[in-house]
Amino acid sequence: MRFMNPASIPVTRTNQSRLAEIDFNRLEFGKNISDHMLLCAWRNGKWHMPEIVPYGPISFTPAMLALHYGQAVFEGMKAFRMKEGSINLFRPYKHAERFNQSLKRMAMPVLDEDFFVNCLHALVDVDRAWVPREEGSSLYIRPVAFATEERLGLKVSEEYLFAILTGPVGPYFNKPIRVKVEDHYVRAAEGGTGYAKCAGNYGGAFYPTQLAREAGYDQVLWTDAREHKFIDESGAMNVMFVINGKLITPQLTTAILDGVTRDSILTLAREEGISVEERKISVEELAEAFKHGTITEAFGVGTAAVVAPIAVVSVHGRDYTLPPLQTGSVQERLKSKLHAIRLGYEPDRHGWNYIIK
């Protein structure tokens, strides 16, 4: 189904808004869900008319295929309140493209990109009062699609639900994190589903992450499945290092999620004249850089945190500590630049902002 106009999506408004209950100065990530949601079903080989309805539970059977065989994918993106009050959906087409890549990998039906963006547009417009005005806050948007066919047999589902939920989120507190280089468990292998934002990738990462937490770390730094020799990424973030003044990040493989924040940060870094290397980076190289004091920064990048500084990297049981963050660090500069573009303080040269008037 194609929609060239978000206004053609039917809306049933709630008569019990929960907006007044929200303390916008104390938002816990993911806790508050806005008044409305969008639902759209795939049946008989096509996507049907989406609808925007009051947010709430939906009923389903425990025989729903997604629960058994894992056909479930999601996206994570944000809308910002710009300096003059309009709402900016950040890079929705890039997220549409990735949602489709994830859907394809899970043998699920893709969505027309304009249709996807129009659905986002319509929903955010209905709940526009939920887009925070507080500094550093935004509206987090969670598109999700899952198999809904009622069956016990192992098969590709013939029915799906596509839904979009949103919720206000506050500034991410940038307490530097401790990460452990994983040399036993694997998040994703090349040829697997690592590049897809599919539910199973996260379920499978919980246990190794719990073990890392028990050992005193916040996150796992995943390495390649074959040799545990090269850095992949961390949690739900891509990773970047500043070594000898160069910004270095693992090159994308089918085992790494192609982060929109990663792409935005690399683009801005190149524009700032920072030398950028997308290549394999070995655990060994990282340890050497710590020993020689050539590494000055390590950080994760992703929609939720934007930039999350790393304080400690544990390599084979040995903790290496990053120097304290200096003002004017590469990560701070790039983060503020991105922030300025999203809020309209600096020109959007790449067409990243999708503005809802």
Distance CA 1, CA 23 (A): 38
If the CB atoms of residues 9 and 305 are measured against ligand PLP, the closer one turns out to be 305
Structure token digits, residue 318: 């040995």
Minimum distance from residue 201 beta carbon to ligand PLP (Å): 7
Minimum distance from residue 173 beta carbon to ligand PLP (Å): 18
Distance CA 334, CA 169 (A): 21
Q: What is the DSSP string of 257-285?
A: ---HHHHHHHHHHHHTT--EEES--BHHH
What letters, b where the CB count within 10 A reaches 16 and e where it falls short, cover 1-17? eebeebeebeeeebeee
Q: What is the DSSP string of 209-251?
A: HHHHHHTT-SEEEEE-TTTS-BEEEETTBEEEEEETTEEEEPP
Minimum distance from residue 259 beta carbon to ligand PLP (Å): 3
If the CB atoms of residues 260 and 295 are measured against ligand PLP, the closer one turns out to be 260
If the CB atoms of residues 137 and 238 are measured against ligand PLP, the closer one turns out to be 238
Structure token digits, residue 65: 């295929």
Structure token digits, residue 322: 């990053």
C-alpha separations of 208 from 119, 213, 273 in Å: 36, 9, 38
Minimum distance from residue 333 beta carbon to ligand PLP (Å): 18
Sequence-separated (6 or more) residues with CB below 8 Å from residue 113: 93, 96, 97, 100
Minimum distance from residue 17 beta carbon to ligand PLP (Å): 29
If the CB atoms of residues 176 and 204 are measured against ligand PLP, the closer one turns out to be 204
Residues that bind ligand PLP (CB under 6 A): 76, 197, 233, 236-238, 257, 259-262, 302-303
Sequence-separated (6 or more) residues with CB below 8 Å from residue 75: 95, 98, 99, 102, 141, 142, 143, 144, 197
If the CB atoms of residues 232 and 297 are measured against ligand PLP, the closer one turns out to be 232
Minimum distance from residue 304 beta carbon to ligand PLP (Å): 7
If the CB atoms of residues 122 and 237 are measured against ligand PLP, the closer one turns out to be 237
Minimum distance from residue 350 beta carbon to ligand PLP (Å): 15
If the CB atoms of residues 36 and 187 are measured against ligand PLP, the closer one turns out to be 187
